Structure formats: structure tokens, C-alpha cells
A and B are shown apart, each in its own frame.
Chain A
């Protein structure tokens, strides 16, 4: 048998055939753009004009002196710092509340998850109406108890908070499901043993349940951080980066540079690609750090 025929009847061919569609898709829409994006980040280039000029690290150097890039970075960091802990702690609380046998529990679990599968546009329209400064339901209710009115998305100092509120609501269900599954994996005999030894519910939660949830928490921290740093949809649709750029996050800024201002004339697509690459590196380093830290502090069940 020739090597080729041996290859034809071996498991290799079947294996490659099975993964071929994914390889082609990932290659075409993943790897190729990633490499081209890297090349573009070293060029002065717009998207309309075919002219390309190699500028080395100029695009990267420019980021440091761009106040709008700094503003986008600060916005992204404050969003992440707010979004990640709030969404995870809230999910833990909700998952704990849903982890019991009560009437209609399936309905409650479904209700918590529905926002996750609702389109961002629908969520956005709903929150724009609810949180409208003059005509929104939220301000109407707050007015009944003598508070407000709040500007929410219309107030430069509150828009980021409103954005966090909206996205936490939208993604709470996902985090909750992960925690709910993890909670059901916590061995009941440990809790019972602790109860017999006289541990309070509070301390058995913090000493048994919480450590056992470590892997799930790590997953959620890594996942939420990456998603928060890549926030785009909600900003694009609801706030458009405003008011006064207070919700202009990095990916949104990249989009604006490349596809709104950078079309042709100002040749900003290369600069936008450079920012995208810096964000990629930040996410990579942060994720590796989180995993490294996670391995040292997390208890894995044997």
C-alpha cells in the first residue's frame, strides 16, 4: 500500500473531512482577517482609496497622544469594573434564590433567562422608553416617591450607569444559568455534615458552596471581562457613544474611526486596526493573568 492509500483508509482522512467546514470558515473569516488586520495596522490607509502607505509603528504611537482614544479606554475600563462584579454577584444571588424546590420554579428560571435570548435592539428600545428623561416609566414611578427626575442615557454623568444597568439585566440570565448548574453540583452531604457540626447557613455558604463554585466563577469572570471589553451593540444602538462621548467605548471608537470618519479622506482604517490590536493584546494578557490567578486560588473537585 502506498502512503496515500494508507492515508485514505486511516482515521486521519475522516477526521479532517469532519472538521474541514470549520477549518475553512475559521480560516477564511478568522485567521485571514486577523493577519490582514495586523498588516493594516502598520499602514496609513483608508477604506475607499486603494492607496496604502507603510508607516511602521506610527499608528500605535498615535494612540498615546489621542485624547479620544484615552477617553474610550477610560470608559471601557469603568464599564468593565462596574459590569463584571455587579453581574456576577447579582447572578450568584439570583441563582441561589432559584436553587430550591418551590412552585413555578421553572417559570422563574425561564423569566430570568428570557432577556439573554432577546435581541439587543429590542432591549435597547425598551430601555430607551423606560428610562426616557421626560416621558419614561422609570421617572414617573420615581416621581411618585418624590425622587428625580433622572436623565439616565441623556445625562453625561449617568449614561454609563444606565448602560451598566441595561446590560446587567440583559446578561444576568446567562450568568445565573452557569451558577445554577454549578450550585446543583455542590454535594449536599457536605452541607449536611456542616449543619450537623453546627455551622450557620451563612458560614456554610462561604466555606463550602462559594469555594465549590470557583471554576464557575473563573469562567464567568473571564467571559464577562472579555465581553465587557468588547462592548459594542448596546452602545452603537442606544447611546451612539454619547452624550459627550461618555459612553464611547473602544470597539465603538474603532468602528467610528474606520467606518464613519475614516472612509477615504482621513485614512484612519489603519489607525483603527492598530487600536483593535492593542485591545486584543490587552484582552489576551488579562485573560492569561486571570487563568494564572485562578489556578492558584481555585479549588477543583477531584
Chain B
């Protein structure tokens, strides 16, 4: 309990520095690198990802004695908070990994480099980055980050459970009704076995699993000019009713309230199907799994992408130019292929994603990953990039979880969330 007091103090402390810091944004006139430069580079890669990144960095550092890159591990979930603290201290990293959803907040950060003009350079080959990732790195018409990683959602299923139940594997022609029926057939309450799973922590994770259903039905999160919530439309309600039908009526869904257990439970053979991304595949060594694109409504099988990016801060002394030079190299097709084959990251460039020789290698190294790679073609829409989005996401997350727990009706829950979202949008505009 003593600890709690210090938490409060620490909170005060950080707010404090908020008042004092942030003055010096290193706006020294840019010059070309005169001596050797050492760049600070924050990333959140661990295990195989970290090994692959280190190999790439070693390669770069050996070939470029003038621009040395020093990497520092920063947990991705905490990258924005950590950056906030660094900004208060006036010492942001030269390059940092950030979630695409953090862009509106990042846009306000002093010293963040606007990449709009730079990405027009032929070396960068901007148009070759996957469209969804380019949109997500753009805020208010300005490019503020270079795409670093992209994921999409698909269905991962346990082949053994399907065989035991005598069911056909999911196909690319599936509708959500097919998925619901299969989930129900796979569920065995006495044996603690579930057909499907859903993240129920009411975070953005709860929201982006719902978005594809909404979009497939023709609905959207916000209206055309992004001034009003639109997810409480009949399409939005219908999308949520698919999920509540499974969770409340069929009880065929493992509801992961803390959003921390579903991978282990899937790996222990107690969940039939997951809607998830390629990052989870390495957590399933004990399951003979298959991957299929999302079920659809009326033949629309679109999915959602979660792009992350590299952001650059101008710390003067030619460091910005050095950082951009390094990033150009890091995101070039050769490096992307190496990284993908070592880690299972989906290729962020179209030219790589369409390279059949590469895809064969990729699918052989990571079974099922080629489905995720091809599924990038099903990414049609992106979530709104707005300052008010975290509030909208929170309201939607609570509505989805509340309805799926059977605590409220889908329509009423979405209406309430829409009202809260409209408040947040009004606040952002004012």
C-alpha cells in the first residue's frame, strides 16, 4: 500500500516535468553529417524478431562507419509513454517504433520530422508500400512515419478438433453463419472446449476484431466527413448481433476478459477457431493448425490491418539526414525479405508481397503465413486517424464487451457508445 502512495507521487512527478520540459526541440539548422554519427534507435522486437534486427543492424554498422545505429528495446505497448518522458527530458530518440494508432498524439510532439517531401524521393519508393500502411502513416495530409510492420486478421483453426467433430475445414467461401454453426458444433461445455475466442478487455483489440464485420456489411465507424459516429447503424447492430449470438445464445466463445489467455488455451487444444494475426502463430507449437481468410457477408471478405511505423525526431547535427538514410536502407525490399523470412513479419512492400518465389519460401518457413500475406489484398479500409479516436475506441470497446457479456442489447450499447463518441468528436473539433 505504501507503493500506491509512490505511484501517485510518480504521477504528479511526471505531470510536473510536463510543465517544465518540451522547450528545446533541437531545431538546430540541419547540416550534412560531418563526423561519425551515432543514432538512437528504439524498437520493441524480442526473440527471433530481435535476432533478425540485430543481424541487420550489424550489417549496416559494419558497412557504414559514419552512421552507427545503437538500438534500445522499448516495449511497444509503452513506446508512446516512454517517448513522452523522453520528450519532457528534451532528448527524444532519433528513430522510434510506434503504433499507427498513436499518430494523432505524435503529430503534436515537438521535433517530429514531417516526411511528406522526403518520401517523394525515388530511393524511398513510397508507392510500393502497402496502401493501408501508407494511409495509417499519414495524418492531416502529412506523412509522419515510415511503415515498419503490417498485420491483418484471419481465421486460425485447430485441424484436429475439426477432424474429431467430422466438420469441414473453413473455406474462403465461408459466411459468418458457417463460422457460427461450426463454433457451436465444436463447443463442449463439460469438457471446457470452445468453438471461438474473443478479446474482452474492451481495449482497441476488442474493437478491431469487430470492424471487419461492420465493414463487410457496408457499415463504417464514422460518417463521411468524420464528424459523427456511424457504427450504430443497422449494419453495425447486425455485425454485433453475430458476435452476441455466439457469445450469449450459443455460449460457443471463450471470453478472454484479461485478453491474456487465449493463445495458451488454443495451444492446449480447447479452442476451435481464433480470429487473429500472424504474430500469434509461433505460440501454437502443439496444434496442427490451418489458416483461412475471414468469413464474409455477401461475398465480401475484407479484413483489417494494424500498421506500425518508424518515426524520426530531428536532434540536429545532421542526425536527421543520417536517420533517413538508414531507414531507406532498412525498409528496402532486400532487408524486408530477410526480416520476413527470419521473423514471419508480413512484407510491408507490395513488390515483395507479390514476389511468388519469396511467397513460396515464406509459406514453407512459416506454415499458413502465406494466407496472411495474400490476405493483405483484402485490406480495403483503415480506422480513422483522429485525436478523438482513443475515446471512440474506448466507447466502442465497452459497448461490444457489454453486449457480448449479455449485459446490454447490441442496439442500446452501440447507441450509447455513439453518443459518447460524438461528444469526443465535438470536443476534438472545438
Binding site for B on A (CB under 8 A): 29-30, 32-34, 36-37, 39-40, 45-52, 120, 128, 132, 134-135, 153-154, 156, 171, 174, 223, 227, 230-233, 238-240, 242-245, 251, 254-255, 258-261, 263-266, 269, 272-273, 276
- In the bound complex, what is the Cα–Cα distance between A164 and B84 (angstroms)? 34
Interface residue B11 (Cβ < 8 Å from any Cβ of A): yes
Interface residue B322 (Cβ < 8 Å from any Cβ of A): no
Q: A30-B9, A134-B192, A243-B401 are in contact. Are A37 and B258 (CB under 8 A)?
A: no
Which listed residue, B109, B110, B398, B428, touches A244 by the CB 8 Å rule? B398
Interface residue B201 (Cβ < 8 Å from any Cβ of A): yes
Query: Contact at B12–A266, with CB atoms within 8 Å?
Result: no
**Which residues of B from 383 to 430 have beta carbons under 8 Å from A?**
387-388, 390-391, 394, 398, 401-402, 405, 407, 424, 427-428
- In the bound complex, what is the Cα–Cα distance between A258 and B17 (angstroms)? 13
Q: Which residues of B contact A30 (CB under 8 A)?
A: 9
Q: A46-B108, A265-B105, A266-B388 are in contact. Are A231 and B4 (CB under 8 A)?
A: yes
Question: In chain A, what residue has the closest Cβ to B81?
Answer: A259
Question: In chain A, what residue has the closest Cβ to B202?
Answer: A242
Which listed residue, B15, B83, B391, touches A36 by the CB 8 Å rule? B15
Query: Contact at A230–B4, with CB atoms within 8 Å?
Result: yes
Q: What 1/0 mask marks residues of chain B from 230 to 247 whose CB sits below 8 Å from any chain A CB?
A: 000000000000000000
The range of chain B's interface size is 35 or more
Q: Which residues of A contact B14 (CB under 8 A)?
A: 47, 258-259
Q: A30-B9, A135-B192, A227-B4 are in contact. Are A47 and B15 (CB under 8 A)?
A: yes
- In the bound complex, what is the Cα–Cα distance between A33 and B9 (angstroms)? 7
Q: Which residues of A contact B88 (CB under 8 A)?
A: 47
Q: A255-B11, A264-B105 are in contact. Are A243 and B18 (CB under 8 A)?
A: no
Interface residue B200 (Cβ < 8 Å from any Cβ of A): yes
Which listed residue, B102, B105, B401, B427, touches A242 by the CB 8 Å rule? B401
Q: Which residues of B contact A49 (CB under 8 A)?
A: 22, 108-110
Query: Contact at B19–A39, with CB atoms within 8 Å?
Result: yes
- In the bound complex, what is the Cα–Cα distance between A139 and B384 (angstroms)? 42
Interface residue B16 (Cβ < 8 Å from any Cβ of A): yes
- In the bound complex, what is the Cα–Cα distance between A234 and B107 (angstroms)? 33
Which listed residue, A153, A223, A232, A244, touches B405 by the CB 8 Å rule? A244
Q: Which residues of B contact A254 (CB under 8 A)?
A: 11
Question: In chain A, what residue has the closest Cβ to B408?
Answer: A244
Q: Which residues of B contact A32 (CB under 8 A)?
A: 16
Query: Contact at A134–B254, with CB atoms within 8 Å?
Result: yes
Other 17 A-B pairs with CB < 8 A, given A243-B202, A266-B428: A32-B16, A33-B13, A36-B20, A47-B84, A47-B88, A120-B3, A134-B254, A135-B192, A227-B4, A233-B4, A244-B402, A245-B398, A255-B7, A260-B390, A263-B84, A266-B387, A269-B15
- In the bound complex, what is the Cα–Cα distance between A245 and B257 (angstroms)? 12
Q: Which residues of B contact A29 (CB under 8 A)?
A: 9, 13
Interface residue B1 (Cβ < 8 Å from any Cβ of A): yes
Q: Which residues of A contact B18 (CB under 8 A)?
A: 40, 45, 47, 269
- In the bound complex, what is the Cα–Cα distance between A243 and B104 (angstroms)? 27
Question: In chain B, what residue has the closest Cβ to A261?
Answer: B390
9 A-B residue pairs with CB within 8 Å: A46-B105, A47-B15, A47-B88, A243-B401, A243-B405, A244-B401, A245-B398, A265-B105, A265-B390
- In the bound complex, what is the Cα–Cα distance between A273 and B401 (angstroms)? 29
Query: Contact at A33–B16, with CB atoms within 8 Å?
Result: yes
3 pairs of A and B residues whose beta carbons are closest in the complex: A50-B22, A265-B387, A264-B105
The smallest C-beta distance from A128 to any residue of chain B, in angstroms, reads 7
- The A/B interface has a contact count, at CB < 8 Å, of 157
**Which residues of B from 198 to 214 have beta carbons under 8 Å from A?**
200-202
Interface residue B80 (Cβ < 8 Å from any Cβ of A): yes
Q: Which residues of B contact A174 (CB under 8 A)?
A: 1
Interface residue B87 (Cβ < 8 Å from any Cβ of A): yes
Interface residue B62 (Cβ < 8 Å from any Cβ of A): no
The smallest C-beta distance from A23 to any residue of chain B, in angstroms, reads 16
Q: Which residues of B contact A269 (CB under 8 A)?
A: 15, 18
Q: Which residues of A contact B81 (CB under 8 A)?
A: 259-260, 263
**Which residues of B from 247 to 278 have beta carbons under 8 Å from A?**
254-255, 257-258, 261, 265
The smallest C-beta distance from B224 to any residue of chain A, in angstroms, reads 22
Which listed residue, B1, B104, B388, B402, touches A227 by the CB 8 Å rule? B1
Which listed residue, A128, A251, A260, A265, touches B8 by the CB 8 Å rule? A251
Which listed residue, A232, A258, A263, touches B80 by the CB 8 Å rule? A263
**Which residues of B from 350 to 388 have beta carbons under 8 Å from A?**
387-388
Interface residue B229 (Cβ < 8 Å from any Cβ of A): no
Interface residue B106 (Cβ < 8 Å from any Cβ of A): yes
The smallest C-beta distance from B418 to any residue of chain A, in angstroms, reads 15
Query: Contact at A232–B391, with CB atoms within 8 Å?
Result: no
Which listed residue, A50, A132, A273, touches B15 by the CB 8 Å rule? A273
Q: Which residues of A contact B254 (CB under 8 A)?
A: 134
- In the bound complex, what is the Cα–Cα distance between A137 and B90 (angstroms)? 50
Interface residue B36 (Cβ < 8 Å from any Cβ of A): no
Q: Which residues of B contact A265 (CB under 8 A)?
A: 104-105, 107-108, 387-388, 390, 428
Query: Contact at A258–B15, with CB atoms within 8 Å?
Result: yes
Query: Contact at B201–A240, with CB atoms within 8 Å?
Result: yes
- In the bound complex, what is the Cα–Cα distance between A223 and B5 (angstroms)? 12
- In the bound complex, what is the Cα–Cα distance between A259 and B7 (angstroms)? 13
- In the bound complex, what is the Cα–Cα distance between A88 and B105 (angstroms)? 45
Interface residue B65 (Cβ < 8 Å from any Cβ of A): no
Q: A33-B9, A33-B12 are in contact. Are A153 and B258 (CB under 8 A)?
A: yes
Query: Contact at A48–B3, with CB atoms within 8 Å?
Result: no
Interface residue B299 (Cβ < 8 Å from any Cβ of A): no
Q: Which residues of A contact B218 (CB under 8 A)?
A: none
**Which residues of B from 14 to 64 have beta carbons under 8 Å from A?**
14-16, 18-23
Question: In chain A, what residue has the closest Cβ to B427?
Answer: A266
Q: Which residues of B contact A242 (CB under 8 A)?
A: 200-202, 257, 401
